Amino acid sequence: MPSLGADMESGTLLEWHVKPGDVVHRGDIVARVDTEKAEIEVEIFHDGVVEELLVTPGTKVPVGTPLARLRAAEGAVVAPAARPEAPAPPPRAVTAPPPAPPPPAAAAAPLALRRLRVSPVARRIAEERGIDLAGITGTGPDGAITRADVERAAAAPVTAAAPAAPAAPAALVAPVTAPAAPAPPAPTLAPAAARAAERARAMRRTIGAAMARSKREIPHYYLSMRLDLSHALRWLEAENARRPAPQRILPAALLLRATALALREVPELNGFFRDDAFQPSEAVHLGVAVALRPAGLVAPALHDADRLSLDALMAALRDLVQRARSGVLRSSELGEATITVTSLGDTGADLVYGVIHPPQVAMVGFGRVHEEPWAENGGVGARPVVTASLAADHRASDGHRGGLFLAALARLLLHPEAL
Amino acid sequence: MTTREQIREAALRVLGEIAPEADLGALDPAAPLRETLDLDSMDFLNFVVGLLEEIGIDVPESEYGQLSSLGACIEYLAARSASGPGA
């Protein structure tokens, strides 16, 4: 059972999308799981063959319980792949539990089997806050996990990330727990309303914890710039007039596309601050802040936004927003974002001062699009304007570079046809 | 040709999917749709797409203003429906 949220202690397996004998590839959706907050499509993080399903649908199991046994693809080096760049590693380690008995070969021993060295105080804090020790890189002696490491992990992404309970120990005893795991009977479902209220509280707690962490640890600086959208909106209007409703593009997609391209020019804003160093990310995974009904916020990742055409980006955005609002996100979308973008929409405020989602190093905000006087070439006219803002981490960049990013945004939006 | 009642039902069905928490039975037909149901631009696009799917009328972006309230939607869509199939 992957850990999909800081406060997640258990999850209910709703259904399997695979059966024993199926060949699976990294990124395939293998199961659907219900957590306290949302339904999540669980992706697998290894190539291999499903050997055995260990948990039956309807069963609620603690985080860390192996869900299935996977035989690793031949020659696959599983371990390094299990803990890559993303900030939410636990799903990987845990969803693809040790290819336990079949190939006991050395190469196959995945990360989940590694014994964790944890200081007692770190373990206690992790338990109190529901943090998955398996997802933490220790910086103490011999890689031991210290209190500081746990506290850093507690700050992990708002949307889900900072992993839950003692996943690692559970994974460690995989062979032992496996037969016992399916035991707990299906939970009795609380009335929908009570569940929704609990989810809302849980979400508020998670957001609060991550944002407090952010404000404590990240030396934010803020910049803003008004952007002339007249070219972009005129182009979009003409484009949309030719398109049937399902193919129309929203200004938000244009802003996301421009953001992704501008980030290529200023890579110091895209990546993670971890282990006292900025780690830039090659890929641009935009965390898109999506307001939920009736309240709440998630920022699932729009993967490789810089490599999507505007049409593809719009389609991906529609799909993502729809799934976020209906509560069905994929595990990889929670926690892999390399930067977050928040757009207040056309009824919101003019300017947003973002709070960075650790371990990310920047947040880009767009206020409401509205008409404003705009001076240019000695004259003043009314133009649609949006104020773009940047909150960025001074440990990774400075105001000069941040300013270049906003200038790149402004320039890109003057040529919408090239986006 | 789609009747006003059919249009009303279709519009409410689409809105029900977009804003499942809203009490649509109590929706004032004159109330501003976007503010009342807190529809953002993505919701509104989905509303327009839903109308196209349900009653086969594609509302161009330049006429979104005609969909300002439930009552206005019904009037506009009924007129569109009467003026020709699909159009």
| Whether A165 and A19 share a structural domain | yes
Q: Is residue A85's pLDDT more than 80?
A: no
| Minimum CA–CA partner of B45 in chain A | A245
Least confident of A80-84, A295-299, B53-57: A80-84
Q: Domain check: are A234 and A187 in the same one?
A: no
The pLDDT score that the predictor gives to residue A348 is 79
Confidence of residue A231 (pLDDT cuts 50, 70, 90): very high
What percentage of chain A carries pLDDT values higher than 70? 72
Mean pLDDT lowest among A91-100, A206-215, A314-323, B54-63: A91-100
Residue A32 has pLDDT above 70, yes or no: yes
Taking residues A274-299, report their average pLDDT. 90
Contacts of A245 in chain B (CB under 8 A): 45, 48-49, 51-52, 58-59
**What is residue A312's predicted lDDT score, i.e. its pLDDT?**
97
Q: What is the pLDDT of residues A354-407, one digit of tens each?
A: 999 999 999 999 999 999 999 999 999 999 999 999 999 999 999 999 999 999
- Cβ–Cβ under 8 Å, residues A21 and A50: yes
Comparing A9 with B40, the larger pLDDT belongs to B40
Q: How many helices (H) and strands (E) does chain A have?
A: 11, 19
- 3-state helix, strand, coil split of chain A in percent (to 5) is 35, 25, 40
CA distance A243 to chain B (A): 9
Nearest Cβ partner for B41 among A237, A246, A346: A346
Question: Confidence class of residue A29 from pLDDT cuts 50, 70 and 90?
Answer: confident
Instruction: Based on the fold, state whether residues A257 and A299 are members of the same structural domain.
Output: yes
Interchain CB contact of A291 with B (< 8 Å): yes
Amino acid identity of residue A36, one-letter, is E
Q: Are residues A234 and A189 in the same domain?
A: no
- Please tell me the distance from the alpha carbon of residue A159 to that of residue A289, in angstroms, as a whole number: 9
A242 to chain B, any CB pair closer than 8 A? The answer is no
Based on the fold, state whether residues A121 and A251 are members of the same structural domain. Answer: no
- Give A126 or A247, the one with higher predicted confidence: A247
Q: Does A190 share its domain with A233? A: no
Is the Cβ of A210 closer than 8 Å to some Cβ of chain B?
no
Answer yes or no: is A378 within a domain. Answer: yes
- The residue among A144, A168, A198 that closes a domain is A198
Assigned domain for A214 exists = no
Instruction: Give the per-residue pLDDT at A233.
Output: 96
Chain A hits for B38, CB-CB cut-off 8 Å, are 293
- CB proximity under 8 Å: A 149-168 to B: none
Indicate the range of A329-338, A365-374, B67-76 predicted with least confidence.
Answer: A329-338
pLDDT by residue (tens digit) across B1-11?
678 999 999 99
Closest CA to A88 of A8, A160, A166: A160
C-beta atoms of B41 and A246 within 8 A: no
Domain total of chain A: 2
pLDDT of the residue at B87: 45
Question: Is residue A185 in a domain?
Answer: yes
Residues A126 and A233 in one domain: no
Residues of A noted as catalytic: 394
Are residues A98 and A237 both part of a single domain? no
Asked whether residue A291 is domain-assigned, the answer is yes
Domains of chain B: 4-82 (1.10.1200.10)
The answer to whether A345 faces chain B, any CB pair under 8 Å, is yes
Write out pLDDT tens, residues A107-125: 332 222 234 566 666 766 6
Of B21, B46, B61, the CB nearest to A240: B61
Of A84-88, A128-132, A138-142, A150-154, minimum mean pLDDT range = A84-88
Chain A residues with CB under 8 Å of B60 CB are 241
Angle between helical axes of B70-82 and B41-55 (0-180°, round to 10): 40
Q: What is the pLDDT of residue A120?
A: 61
**Is A327 in CB contact (< 8 Å) with chain B?**
no
Task: Indicate whether A267 and A323 sit together in one domain.
Answer: yes
- Of A144, A165, A198, which one is at a domain's C-terminal end? A198
Contacts of B41 in chain A (CB under 8 A): 250-252, 345-346
Is A396 domain-assigned? yes
Give me the interface pTM, i.e. the ipTM: 0.91
Q: Is B64 on the interface with A (CB under 8 A)?
A: no
Tell me the Cα Rg of chain B: 12
In this structure, what token pair is assigned to residue A182? 């399916």
- What value does the mean pLDDT of chain A take? 78
Q: What is the pLDDT of residue A5?
A: 55
Query: What does the alpha-carbon distance between residue A150 and residue A96 come to, in Å, rounded to a whole number?
Result: 23
> Hey, are the CB atoms on B21 and A291 less than 8 Å from each other?
no
Q: How many CB atoms lie within 10 A of CB B26?
A: 7
The answer to whether A109 contacts chain B (CB < 8 Å) is no
Are residues A241 and B48, on separate chains, in Cβ contact within 8 Å? no
pLDDT at position A185 over 50: no
Average pLDDT over residues B70-86: 87
Contact yes or no for A40/A334 (Cβ under 8 A): yes
| pLDDT for residue A350 | 93
pLDDT band at A6 (very low <50, low <70, confident <90, very high): very low
Range of the domain at A111: 10-198
Give the domain CATH number at A27. 2.40.50.100
Q: What is the mean pLDDT of residues A152-175?
A: 40
Higher pLDDT, A124 or A318: A318
Of A76, A67, A61, the C-alpha closest to A44 is A67
Contact A129, A121 (CB under 8 A): no
pLDDT of the residue at A155? 64
Residue A100 pLDDT > 90:
no
Range A213-242 average pLDDT: 96
Q: Which domain CATH number covers A364?
A: 3.30.559.10
With tokens 């609380």, the residue in question is A190
Give the list of residues 6+ apart from residue A357 with CB closer than 8 angstroms, or none: A157, A158, A159, A210, A214, A287, A299, A337, A340, A363
* Residue A281 domain-assigned (yes or no): yes
- Picking from A336, A332, A337, A331, the residue whose alpha carbon sits closest to that of residue A39 is A331
Instruction: Answer whether residue A160 is part of any domain.
Output: yes
Interface test with B, best of A229, A237, A247, A250 (most B CBs within 10 A): A250
Among A329-343, B38-52, B62-76, the least confident range: A329-343
Are A111 and A141 in the same domain? yes
Residue A105's pLDDT is 32
Q: What is the DSSP string of A314-335?
A: HHHHHHHHHHHHHTEEEGGGSS
Residue A5 lies in a domain: no
Residue B76 has pLDDT above 60, yes or no: yes
The structure tokens listed for A167 are: 């996943």
Chain A: residue whose CA lies nearest to B64:
A245
pLDDT of the residue at A325: 87
pLDDT digits (tens, 9 = 90+) for A42-69: 888 788 888 889 888 888 888 878 888 8
Does A258 share its domain with A364?
yes
Residue A376 has a pLDDT of: 93
Handedness of CA A232, A393, A358, A352 (dihedral sign): negative
pLDDT of residue A124: 65
State whether A346 and B35 contact (CB < 8 Å): no
**CB A200: neighbour CB atoms within 10 A?**
15
Q: Which residues of A237-266 are buried (b: 16+ CB within 10 A; e: fewer)?
A: eebbeeeebeebbbbbbbbbbbbbbbbeeb
Higher pLDDT, residue A135 or B62: B62
Question: pLDDT at residue A314 above 70?
Answer: yes
Same domain? A370 vs A240: yes
